[in-house]
Amino acid sequence: MLFTSGTNLESSAIEFVDSNEKVTVFSAYMKLEELKKINRSKNIKRIVVRWEILDLCREVSDLEVYNYCLENNIILFRNTRLHMKAFWNDATTVIFGSANVTNRGIGEKGTYNYELNGLQKTIDIDSIQYFNQILRNSQLVSSSLYNRIVEEVERIGRIEDPQEPYVIKKGSESNQEKFLLSDLPMSRSTEDLFRTYSNPEKATPDDLIYAGHDLALYELPGGLNKLQFDEELKVKFNSHPFISALKQKIRHEQSMRYGGVLSWIQENTTTVPTPRSWEMKQELIVNILYHWICYFDDDFTWSTPKYSQVISYKMNYSNQLETILEHLNRDKARGNIAPHQVILLIAISNHVEKYRRQLLPLPQVKEIFDEIWLHKEQLFRSNNTDIVMPLKALQRAELIHLRITEDQIQGVRSYNQLREVVTDIELSNELFEILKSLRNPQEIIENHL
């Protein structure tokens, strides 16, 4: 079905918005008055505009669209590469063509352009993925970005025929204070996603929508077999900043209940429309996240004890050592993180590897400590081989026991004073078990120098 200027171009857009609960509008140019006409039913939920500074200075697009979007709970995106014009119902139907959402573009009165739009009732998974790709590559218009754009437009002023476009550089656009809810996967499982990916003609409309979102989110190419698909998706999923940050939080807490994960998501994301309604499907979306994390990372598992969904970090010895190192309370020396505690742990590790003992003679550990320090001295830019400070720190962290009281250790300032009251270093059971069980713990420890 075709829609033409001066007859049914505007009315067809109004009818489309009226008859769909959720609509995303892509329009390079956009004027506020025309947007108000089309959105009388308030069903537009997302808008992507070009908003080049040039466009705004020429007044072919309105900055006032931003405040209208705030007042009507519309998520506004900016993409300076956008040229397309389309109304998408976030499912499988779209109106697309040449008409911008302006009076001269889609309007039916006055001096309008000659435009043409068409209706496609059923689009395929590649088209859904394409729309999601554009959304992924667009920038959420936050208040800070809006203010920067306004300042730039006001600085330049109205222009008629500029020599070159004015743009805010990509580097300044890319800073996002929070993640977007659309950074979450929407397919129930990775198996569901591959099934839709490999046989889209057999998928339900909902599965096509979810798969289109996920394929765009993780930028997966076509034509992969199952093994290639899983390998590619695993890398993209695990390296996504949203997933990395959430997994780091779970590692720190060791385990998190459903409520904790939900709170973390709410605190660290900006609400934008997603294929599954966040407000209606929070529990399902968190379940999906659990499945994906545990499928692609064997260090995590989830269960439902006492009706509460819990995702846990499975501590292996490498992970335990990493956690110990990450939680060391290390001071700064000459602007850099002091290496003393790490050097001491390397020395302790060397001794355990050689003698397999939990009780270490202090002089032997000091000798290894000094050798490592001498070898690494240029890296540290320091000749301060003080072993007392890191020994105190590891005792406070309950990783070692010097078998003297806290009051006694506080009075010790030098190694000579220390060896008068301490002869051995006793490792905690946890640290000893980790160091004797790992094949090469020094490699892990040295990564923290």
Cα atoms in the 13 Å half-sphere on the side-chain side of 252: 10
Across the chain, mean pLDDT equals: 88
- Residue 79 pLDDT grade (very low, low, confident, very high; cuts 50, 70, 90): very high
Pairing mode of beta strands 269-270, 179-180: parallel
Q: Specify which residues 96 forms β-bridges with.
A: 86, 118
The pTM of this model reads 0.64
- Residue 391 pLDDT grade (very low, low, confident, very high; cuts 50, 70, 90): very high
Quick one: average pLDDT of 339-358? 94
10 Å CB burial of residue 157 (0-12, 13-18, 19+) is: exposed
pLDDT tens column, 88-101: 999 999 999 999 99
Single out the residue of 156, 143, 133 nearest to residue 81, CA to CA: 133
Question: Which domains, ranges and CATH numbers included, belong to the chain?
Answer: 2-175 (3.30.870.10), 183-313 (no CATH), 318-446 (1.10.10)
- At residue 282, the pLDDT reads 80
What are the φ and ψ backbone dihedral angles of 360, each rounded to 5 degrees? -110, 130
The answer to whether residue 300 scores a pLDDT higher than 80 is yes
Do the beta carbons of residue 118 and residue 1 sit within 8 Å? yes
Do the beta carbons of residue 370 and residue 350 sit within 8 Å? no
Measured in whole angstroms, the distance separating CA 371 from the mean position of its chain's CA atoms is 42
Quick one: average pLDDT of 254-275? 83
Q: Helix 205-217 to helix 190-198 angle, to the nearest 10 degrees?
A: 100
- Residue 305 pLDDT grade (very low, low, confident, very high; cuts 50, 70, 90): confident
Q: Characterise 61 by phi-psi region: left (phi > 0), alpha (psi -120 to 50), beta (else).
A: beta
User: Mean pLDDT: which of 11-20, 52-61, 169-178, 284-293 is highest?
Assistant: 11-20
Single out the residue of 262, 257, 260, 264 nearest to residue 310, CA to CA: 257
The answer to whether residue 171 scores a pLDDT higher than 50 is no
